């Protein structure tokens, strides 16, 4: 599986049209999944939360010889009974904490897993 940085295409373009252009351009494709470097990942989480999209998981990835390498995944759990707004906020806070805790450098790569309202 080759990892590349390119403009968002097909279903990702439709799903993420509300991201600012610099976040769309900085997306790193891992197969059909999207990942971002540390600071951009934090910004994407904020953009998703503004649209009531919950970041339900984060995966720390690396790039080895052009291929993605999974390192670790978040394991936070958020009570879905909180109501959508509180759920989205709690998910965003947990996702950001994971990134801040496990970002080794500004080049660390994070794949975000989300669900939409």
Question: pLDDT tens per residue, the chain (117 residues)?
Answer: 344 444 444 446 655 788 999 998 999 888 778 899 999 999 999 999 999 999 999 999 987 777 788 999 999 999 888 899 999 999 999 999 999 999 888 888 999 988 888
The residue among 60, 66, 57, 49 whose CA lies nearest residue 95 is 57
The residue among 53, 110, 37, 47 whose CA lies nearest residue 85 is 53
- Full set of structural domains in the chain with CATH: 3-115 (3.30.190.30)
Question: How far is CA 27 from each of CA 54, 112, 117, rounded to the nearest angstrom?
Answer: 18, 11, 22
pLDDT value for 7: 43
pLDDT value for 88: 96
Rounded CA gap, 110 and 99, in Å? 8
pLDDT value for 105: 82
């Amino acid at each position: 599986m080759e990892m590349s940085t390119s403009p968002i295409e097909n279903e990702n373009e439709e799903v993420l049209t509300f991201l600012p252009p610099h976040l769309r351009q900085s997306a790193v494709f891992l197969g059909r999944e999207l990942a971002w470097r540390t600071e951009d990942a934090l910004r994407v989480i904020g953009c998703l939360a503004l649209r009531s999209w919950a970041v339900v998981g984060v995966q720390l990835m690396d790039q080895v010889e052009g291929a993605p390498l999974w390192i670790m995944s978040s394991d936070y759990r958020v009570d879905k009974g909180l109501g959508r707004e509180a759920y989205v906020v709690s998910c965003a806070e947990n996702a950001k904490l994971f990134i801040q805790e496990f970002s080794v450098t500004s080049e660390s790569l994070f794949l975000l897993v989300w669900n939409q309202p």
